[in-house]
Amino acid sequence: MTVHELFAYLCVHDAQAAIDHYRDVFGATESFRLVEPGGRIGHVELAVAGTTLMLCEEFPEFGITRPDPAGSTFLTLHVHVDDADATIQRALEHGATLVMAPRDMFYGERSGVVRDPFGYRWNIGHSIEEVAPTEMQRRYDAMDTSPC
């Protein structure tokens, strides 16, 4: 068996609002969409930095539901950008909630965390230094709490 690609596929309440949000925050462009006769968006593909982010609206009849934007989350999407501070600020201006302000991290990245208006958690960062895995482990071991 060979895996050829891996895509994040997010379920949202309002796909058009999500498309607009990801366009405004991450520069996403829409590749295509499939819409039911009643208007529900069944599938959208967005191009983000050479990758594909897939979206759909809820299909509760098939057990496909969105996360509760106010509830806990089990998923974090990690995106590398040129300027984490500016991208986080842009996300906040477009309705995201700050979870962790940007800061320099032990693993060689300046990063912060936001929760988008659709309930998804995004770790947004940019590289500040190359850190070998052994050094990263040493720094991690020296910490008192988990950084994530």
Q: How many residues does the chain have?
A: 148
CA distance 19 to 29: 8
Q: What is the pLDDT tens value at each position of the chain, 148 positions in all?
A: 998 889 999 999 999 999 999 999 999 999 999 999 999 999 999 999 999 999 999 999 999 999 888 888 888 999 999 999 999 999 999 999 999 999 999 999 999 999 999 999 999 999 999 999 999 999 999 986 655 5
Where exactly are the structural domains of the chain?
1-66, 68-148
Sign, Cα dihedral of 96, 100, 101, 103: negative
CATH number, span 68-148: 3.10.180.10
List helix spans (H) across 76-119: 84-93
Sheet holding 121-127, edge to edge: 76-80, 121-127, 109-115, 97-104
Kindly calculate the radius of gyration of the chain based on its CA atoms and give it in whole angstroms.
Answer: 17
CATH, range 1-66: 3.30.720.120
